[in-house]
Amino acid sequence: MLFDLALYFGLLSLISVGGIPSVLPEMQRYVVDVRQWATAADFMQMFAIGQAAPGPNVLIAGLIGWKVAGLAGAFVALGAICGPAALVAYWVAGVWERMKDSPWRAVAQRAMAPMVVGLIFSGGFVLATPGNVPDWRLWLIAVASAVALLATRLNPIWLLAAGGLAGGFLL
C-alpha cells in the first residue's frame, strides 16, 4: 500500500503543473473511487483541514497518507507528491539561468502560463462539484469566496472561516 501510494503520488507530482489545485480532482478520483481508501466526505474534510492549516496546500497529501497508512504513510505521501517535482525544479533552476537569453525560455513561459490557469481553475471547479452533481449551496460559497479573493484584500483565512459559517447554516 505504501508502495502504491508512493508510485501514484510520484506520478501526480510530475504532472502537477499549477501545484496541488490541479491534481486534487485526480487525487480524489483515485483515493475515493478507485482505491476506496477514503469516502468523498472524508476527502472533502481532509481538503478543508489542509486549507485551514498554515503552510502549502500540498499537505493534504500528508493527510491522505496518514489515513491510508498512518504516520509512515503521511511521510511517504508528502515526499512522493513533492519529490519528483522538486527534482525537476532543481534541475530546471540550473538550466533556466543558463538559458537566460534563449528564445526558448520565453516560449516555455508563454506556453505554461495558460495551462496553469486552466488547470487550477478546473481543480477548483471540480472540487466545488463533488459527485458530478452541482450543489447550488457549495457553488454559492465557492463563487462568493472567489469574488472576495479578487475584490478584497482579506486574508484568505477569513474567507475560509466565512465558508465554514455559511456551511453551518446552509448545509
Partner 1 sequence: MLGDVRPPRNLSELFSGFLAIGARSFGGVMPWAYRVMVEERRWISAADFTETVGLCQFLPGPNIGNTSVVLGKRWFGWRGSIVGFCGLVAVPFVWVLGLAAFYADYATIPLVRAIVIGVGAAGAGLFIGTALKLGRPLARNPGAWVVAMGCFLAVAVGRVSLLAVVPVAAAVAFFLAWRKWL
Nearer to partner 1, 4 or 158 (CB): 158
**Angle between helices 20-28 and 40-52 in degrees, nearest 10:** 160
What is the closest distance, in whole angstroms, from the C-beta atom of residue 135 to partner 1 in the complex? Answer: 9
Nearer to partner 1, 31 or 159 (CB): 159
Query: How does DSSP assign 59-128, residue by residue?
Result: GHHHHHHHHHHHHHHHHHHHHHHHHHHHHHHHHHHHHHHHTTT-HHHHHHHHHHHHHHHHHHHHHHHHHT
What is the closest distance, in whole angstroms, from the C-beta atom of residue 13 to partner 1 in the complex? Answer: 6
Nearer to partner 1, 4 or 125 (CB): 125
What is the closest distance, in whole angstroms, from the C-beta atom of residue 3 to partner 1 in the complex? Answer: 19
25, amino acid identity? P
